[in-house]
Amino acid sequence: MKKFDYLKPTSLDEVFSLMEKFGSNAKLIAGGTDVMVLLKRKRIFPDVLISLRSVPNMAYIKDEKDKIRIGSMTTHRELETSTVIKEKLTALYDAVINLGSVQIRNVATIGGNIANAAPSADTACPLLVLDASCLLISSKGEREVELKDFFIAPGETVMKQDEILKEFIIPKPSKLSGSAYWKLSRRKAMDLPILGVAISLAMNEDKSIKKARIGLGVAAPTPIRAFKAEEFLTGKFLTDEVLAEAGNIASKEASPRDSIRGEAWYRREMIRVLTKRVATISFKRANIV
């Protein structure tokens, strides 16, 4: 590995001044579970790693009146053991309980998972269907970007070089709503998804769909929303025919590729299967009687 300095700033101001000083020669590091792999594989060559681990107030889950805020340095283990996540953001809970291993989840952060911008990032689809926004901050101020507009390409986001990801802002799901995430992988633990499908449904009293969100991972160069399938579902009742058609539409919206984990045709087929399965779980979780 190339030699690098490891800096541990203790405030955001210090982080920003180090980022300004070292510019593109610096790399931010949170839990390091992606960064260290990239360093070892000689895919990145920073002179300096700027750790966010000693910066206070970056790891939290705040259950507010209308929103839930999750600090970017919150680890997957903290999410997994939070009752707020388990009870209110069920799709995210589904994702974190099967992410890596306990050892990985103890150090890896939700901010790192999203900022790394891998199409396979397990928390991306749940956050997409939960209408999450990212709060980006720099020495000049802050801005909020909806997650659906955050990813540009594999490993690329709208974040500027002087910005860091501070927190995720998630509107509290309404009463008659439910969400779920299904990670299709060969093994339950320590495996990246072949495909990830998250769905959230907000229902009307008459059991028709008020609002649908479908998030697909490893189905395109970035995690995506299946907007046409969502639109198709809106106002409909969840019959087998409706679910089958929603799956067909979502599958057509995807642009998967062949990879060592799975071929494109298989991913397309499984989008159909999982759309039906995950929508059914989300509907059950909406607790509509």
Ligand X SMILES: Cc1cc2nc3c(=O)[nH]c(=O)nc-3n(C[C@H](O)[C@H](O)[C@H](O)COP(=O)(O)OP(=O)(O)OC[C@H]3O[C@@H](n4cnc5c(N)ncnc54)[C@H](O)[C@@H]3O)c2cc1C
Say how far apart CA 283 and CA 83 lie, in whole Å: 21
Toward ligand X, which CB reaches closer, 163 or 253? 163
For residue 275, CA distances in Å to 80, 156, 245 come to: 24, 27, 10
Q: Which is nearer to ligand X, 261 or 285 (CB)?
A: 261
178 vs 223, beta carbon nearer ligand X: 223
Name the site residues for ligand X (rule: CB under 6 A). Answer: 27-35, 37, 52, 72, 99-100, 104, 108-109, 111-113, 115-116, 120-122, 164-165, 190, 192
Q: Which residue number, 1 or 289, has a Cβ lying nearer to ligand X?
A: 1
CB of 41 to ligand X, least distance (A): 11
Q: Which residue has the CB atom at the shortest distance from ligand X?
A: 112
Buried b / exposed e along 135-153 (16+ C-beta atoms within 10 A):
bbbbeeeeeebebbebbee
Structure tokens at 191: 């495996």
Q: How far is the CB of 222 from ligand X (least distance, A)?
A: 13
Smallest distance from the beta carbon of 220 to ligand X, in angstroms? 16
Choose between 108 and 249: whose C-beta lies nearer to ligand X.
108
CB of 209 to ligand X, least distance (A): 28
- Least distance CB 275 / ligand X (angstroms): 21
How many angstroms separate the CA atoms of 289 and 286, rounded?
9
Q: How far is CA 118 from CA 16, 55, 86, 192, 242, in A?
A: 25, 25, 24, 10, 31
CB of residue 246 vs ligand X: minimum separation in angstroms?
25
Closest to ligand X by CB, 32 vs 247, is 32
Nearer Cβ to ligand X (103/255): 103
Q: How many residues does the chain have?
A: 289
- The minimum distance between CB 115 and ligand X, in angstroms, equals 3
| 26, burial (CB in 10 Å: exposed 0-12, middle 13-18, buried 19+) | buried
Non-local CB neighbours of 282 within 8 Å, separated by 6+ positions: 91, 178, 179, 180, 199, 200, 201
Beta strands at 48-51 and 5-7: parallel, antiparallel or unpaired: parallel
> Within 13 Å of residue 244, how many CA atoms lie on the same side as its CB?
3
